[in-house]
Amino acid sequence: MKILVTGNLGYVGTVTSEYLKNNGFDVFGLDSGFYRNCILTPIKNEIFTKNKDIRDVEVSDFAGFETVVHLAALSNDPIGELDQNLTLEINYLGAVRTAEMAKKAGVEKFIFISTQSIYGISSSSDELDEDNSIKNPQTAYASSKWRAEQEILAMSDQSFISTALRPSTVFGWSPRLRSDIVFNNLLLTGLKQQRIDVHSDGTPWRPIVHVLDLARAIEVCINSDSERISGRSFNIGVLNGNFTVKQLAEAARECLNRIPIAFKTENIVDPRSYKVSFERARKELGFTAKVGLLAGGTEIVLESKKLIWQGIDLMDRKTNRLLQMKFLLENGLVDGSLRFK
């Protein structure tokens, strides 16, 4: 099967592309290249990548592909707040355009990678399901993803099957590692300063999923019967994987020889809190995540120590998306619309 992965040069896209290729799929990529050089370790099984912005895609870009996995986006809340109009343009309008062009090209299946950030701040103590829960996006990133998801799912018909995966906050090792997501950040800051700083009182809920498990969930969707996924969304995460930030910090501490934890409540940077149900994915897709916090965290620590011993700073722009975007802007490599010059 011939598959196109948009955003294949990102944190998740790098792992997903390699995973799918290793499992026998004919995989190609399409990426604007923001994070092309943000690479820490060699990629063993690289794929051919077309360098293109999703705002500029045409029908011809999707000719011959059976499935499109759409990961390309401005990839987290701080970047999304840089320019909310650009976030809307890329994450919403660009995503919808990508689906429209794919549909016109005859692509059979379109897998949109959404986000659980659409749940935002939930006052419910119950685990939120896909359809009946209140959507309460708090940021431009979350809002743009939610709008795109609704329009893309509405395109689904007998000849074009669209589905959305809503992953928990992702963690785990990638050749293009990110330090700006919660569990990775707790581990990497802990490694650097021998203290884990938590910028909250630790009570907010944060579901998590390992990056390789997300790649596995994508593979399950690729192989699923169309009727099962058409026009539907699926929360992706670890069963019983709703953790408080305090629990995540304690897990990071276990991976780091029980270094101290400091809770800093004077500057709470992320107010989101929600608990999510993963029963639909388990029952209807047969998907269960495999990698837990301690196994995934230990891998990050081991791989990171190898690089730290080589003098590599794992908290610089190579792992921080906002720092990388500011570097591209300040050095004139991209213009104000985030297009390469």
DSSP of 278-333: -HHIIIII-------HHHHHHHHHHHHHHHHHTT--TTSTTT-HHHHHHHHHHTTS
Identify the H or E element spanning 149: helix 140-154
**Would you state the structure tokens that stand for residue 16, as one six-digit string?**
């997903």
Contact present, 111 and 57 (Cβ < 8 Å): no
Average pLDDT across the chain, whole number: 93
Which residues make Cβ contacts (< 8 Å) with residue 193, sequence separation at least 6?
A: none
User: Which 3 state secondary structure label does DSSP give 41?
Assistant: coil
**What is the model's pTM?**
0.95
The pLDDT value recorded for residue 139 is 87
Split at pLDDT 50, 70, 90, the class of 177 is very high
Closest to 170 measured CA to CA, from 204, 198, 207: 207
CB-CB neighbours of 203 under 10 Å:
10
What integer is the mean pLDDT of 171-187? 96
What sign for the dihedral angle of Cα 241, 264, 184, 10?
Answer: positive
CATH fold of 2-330, please?
A: Rossmann fold (3.40.50)
Residue whose structure tokens are 């820490």 = 40
Which SS3 state, helix, strand or coil, does residue 227 take? helix
Within 8 A by CB and 6+ apart from 6, the residues are 13, 29, 30, 31, 54, 68, 69, 70, 71, 72, 98
pLDDT of 242 > 80? The answer is yes
pLDDT band, residue 269 (cuts 50/70/90): low
Q: Is the dihedral of CA 324, 20, 166, 263 positive or negative?
A: negative
Q: CA 235, 238, 241, 245 torsion: positive or negative?
A: negative
Residues facing 254 on adjacent strands: none
Q: What is the DSSP letter of 168?
A: -
> What is the rounded CA–CA span in Å between residue 218 and residue 130?
17
Closest listed residue to residue 155, CA positions, set 116, 101, 225 = 101
- Kindly report, residue by residue over 74-110, the tens digit of the pLDDT: 986 566 567 889 999 999 999 999 999 999 999 999 9
pLDDT at 72: 97
Residues 6+ apart with CB under 8 A from 49: 8, 9, 28, 29, 30, 31
Predicted local distance difference test score (pLDDT) of residue 267: 65
Q: Average pLDDT, stretch 112-120?
A: 94
Task: Please tell me the distance from the alpha carbon of residue 164 to that of residue 337, in angstroms, as a whole number.
Answer: 27
Question: Cα(30)–Cα(304) distance, rounded to whole angstroms?
Answer: 28
What is the mean pLDDT of the segment spanning 285-308? 96
Lowest mean pLDDT among 1-10, 115-124, 320-329: 115-124
Lowest mean pLDDT among 114-123, 148-157, 162-171, 304-313: 114-123
Sole residue written with tokens 């196994």: 295
Name the token pair of 290. 């495999």
**137: nearest Cα among 150, 116, 113, 118:** 118
Q: Which helix (H) or strand (E) holds 255?
A: helix 245-255
**Domain map (residue ranges) of the chain:** 2-330
User: What is the pLDDT at residue 79?
Assistant: 67
